[in-house]
Amino acid sequence: MKIAIDARFYGTGHTGLGRYTTNVLKYLPKYLQGQTLQVLLRDAEYNNFPTSKNVEKVHCEIPHYSLSEQLLLPKLLKSLQSDLLYTLHFNTPILSKIPTIITVHDLIKTHYTSNDTTTRAPWLYGIKRFGYNQVIQKSLNHASDIIVPTNTVKNDILAAFPTVKPERIYPIPEAPDDIFRTQSQSKIDLPEKYVLFVGNAYPHKNLPVLLGAMTQYRGLTLVIVAKKSPFLSRVLAPYDQTRIMILSDLSDPDLVAVYQKASMLVTPSLMEGYGLVGLEALMVATPVIASNIAVYREVYGNQVTYFDPTSVSDLVKKINLVKPISPLTFDRTWDDVAKEIGGILNARCTRL
């Protein structure tokens, strides 16, 4: 069987989606030895993707979330004579007739719809939202199988899209990156004591609650690992930034060192699909304070301290209670993730 794999997010340039795609595809080919994998890649990463005997690399310089994605991808898949399409995100070509297995990491875009979630002009954002609504609904209804990272996301899909059959949704938990399994050194000049936040500054990340809590501390710096963006500038604008440090585009060793040296990591999100940043912190013995939301309860269990994400005072209280912890041993790897995904793809191929 010919399986087309939409790997246009491959590479760390696409942050979380890029790491997910890269980590899965590092191991997936070995679990699909009986299939021909047609891996669709952007030109920037084409030469970086490793070859193997069952992999055919395909140039696919088609932008994500675009009209050309919907019009040109079906033509490309038809020319490749693909039997099955596997996407590592929700943005499938809805005009394609090929059986599809999709990945839905979360429904954040379904729930967060206000103008502060975009930098686009209102008229353009309205068009983008219409496109998203069409693609997510038709992709979910058309998909032969749906891969999600947690039962929380599965339940969210079933509540928001009642026509989707639950037996088609497969929760496959993610895994911390291998870089967090070893100690690391860094030459970055870091504060002696700091609270760590890792992620972007989108509204659902709830960064203002953490910023509000940090105003209560004079000897504690907030280190934010994020790409600089209009969202981050907008969120930081009301606050004194003399004790805020922004780090962007870190190397893997530097990123691990920033986690290791932190006094604690705070992840105050109102909604997520998984929660890798907390697991990564726990693996290097950095205490975690997490918002009390369902997905974090599912992923972290009793390994972290929870707080009310609507309450600055509750977060301050929990920061004051932080104590040292031992490293968390997390046995699950991306090889395990790829093996489970490979099982779903192989099973679908036998039914075609």
Q: Is residue 327 part of a domain?
A: no
d(CA 178, CA 151): 24
Do 295 and 153 lie in one domain? The reply is: no
Tell me, what's the pLDDT at 14?
59
Do 249 and 345 lie in one domain? The reply is: no
- Can you spell out the DSSP letters for 100-121? EEEE----HHHH--SGGG-SS-
Report the 10 Å Cβ neighbour count for 40: 24
Per-10-residue mean pLDDT of the chain, 352 residues long, equals 97 82 96 97 95 95 93 96 97 94 97 83 82 94 97 98 97 93 84 95 96 93 94 93 93 93 97 96 97 98 97 97 94 97 97 91
Tell me, what's the pLDDT at 331?
92
247-255, Cβ contacts within 8 angstroms, sequence gap of 24 or more: 247/188, 247/223, 250/188, 250/225, 252/177, 252/179, 252/184, 253/179, 253/184, 253/185, 253/186, 254/184, 254/186, 254/187, 254/188, 255/179, 255/225
In this structure, what CATH number is given to the domain that contains residue 214? Answer: 3.40.50.2000
Domain residues for 42?
Answer: 2-175+334-351
Report the 10 Å Cβ neighbour count for 70: 19
For residue 40, give the H/E element and its range. Answer: strand 36-41
Do 217 and 292 lie in one domain? The reply is: yes
Do 221 and 125 lie in one domain? The reply is: no
Q: Looking at the 3D structure of the chain, how many domains does it have?
A: 2
In the numeric block, which tokens belong to residue 235? 């969120």
In the numeric block, which tokens belong to residue 173? 């938990």
Do 124 and 164 lie in one domain? The reply is: yes
Classify the C-alpha dihedral 49-55-59-63 as positive or negative.
negative
Q: Is residue 325 part of a domain?
A: no
Tell me, what's the pLDDT at 328?
93
Q: Is residue 151 part of a domain?
A: yes
Q: Is residue 42 part of a domain?
A: yes
Do 154 and 16 lie in one domain? The reply is: yes
Q: Which of helix, strand or coil describes residue 2?
A: strand
Instruction: Enter the pTM of the model.
Output: 0.95
Do 137 and 39 lie in one domain? The reply is: yes
